[in-house]
Amino acid sequence: MTQAPRSGSGRNRAGRNPASDPAGKTGRDAGAGKPSRAGKGTAGAKGAAGAGKGGAPKAARSGQKGASAGAAPFGKERFGRNLGAVHRPRRPKAPPVDRLDVHDPDGVRLQKVMASAGVASRRVCEDMIRDGRVEVDGSIVTDLGVRVDASSAVIHVDGIRLQLNETMVYYAFNKPKGVVSTMEDPEGRPCISDYLKNRKGERLFHIGRLDAATEGLLLLTNDGELTNRLTHPSFEVPKTYLVQVRGPMAHGIGAQMKQGIELEDGIAKVDSFRLVDSTPGHVLVEVVLHSGRNRVVRRLFDAVGHPVERLVRTQFGPIRVGDQRQGSIRVLGRQEVGHLLAAVEM
């Protein structure tokens, strides 16, 4: 009998890491681009598409009118990856809001708030406001004289929510096999707090759970509202998994899973099913689903006669684990946080 790869090695039989590069394709197919190294926190893409070395198009740097239209928010950010704009559901077009509707005479100028949040330089932020790319409390603002209360205003740039509360923290943890998804364990098993190191003073929530045998991406934060929304089924935030099972796999399994399979607690199904790689006796599959039910991926594969040998979560909503080292914790970039907030309509 062919032995399955050892969990500590992080590699399948072909010598590849199924969490980051199965068959040399997964990272590229998932649209991750060149992932950042967790230890260095380097941005996964050097600025936005069409950006020059300074993170903005050459036209913007030369001062041409409207040239900031291609400048991406957080284009020079050190942490996380460039995820681009958030494409939110279209709403009926309305004229820009009257400045009096959102203006707070005792507040801070909108462009200064944006620059302090790391969006771009103040000059580029001013261009973004003029171009109608900035919303305050759900309305487009184009007046550079608007002042806002940063403690209460909800600001979006290209659909990306700005988190202005500096007390909020957001981390990505690449959970190893054998670690339980709790901060403390009465049985003395390895748990999340064992990996927090100098962050042990922070009160953190883990967003959802991974069973002890499952590896991969787990999000940690002290943002209770975001935690509640990301785990609530009504928001249907997708999660991506790599699943290694015994092979070969009969045709039609993917279609069966997408149509729905009756489990003991009701029908469950995947949003997508893709064969990634196969070696003698083993098959590697990528599935995406938004269900948060307990051990649902394992139960789905059990139901079709392919018990899971290894399971790795590679993506939660817009956040990818990439090539982050197993057992490490990294700070999410501000753009990543903005995409997470926008994914649950915050």
**Active site amino acids:** 211
Which residue intervals of 92-244 are DSSP H helices? 99-102, 110-116, 122-130, 224-231
Q: Which pair of structure tokens corresponds to residue 190?
A: 């390895």
Q: 3-class SS at 22?
A: helix
Distances, alpha carbon 305 to alpha carbons 70, 73, 267, 296, 299, in Å: 50, 47, 17, 14, 10
Contact 145, 156 (CB under 8 A): no
Q: How far apart are CA 214 and CA 177, in angstroms?
A: 6
Q: How far apart are CA 114 and CA 127, in angstroms?
A: 12
> 224-231 and 334-343 are packed helices; what angle lies between their axes, rounded to 10 degrees?
50
A 10 A CB-CB count for 235 gives 14
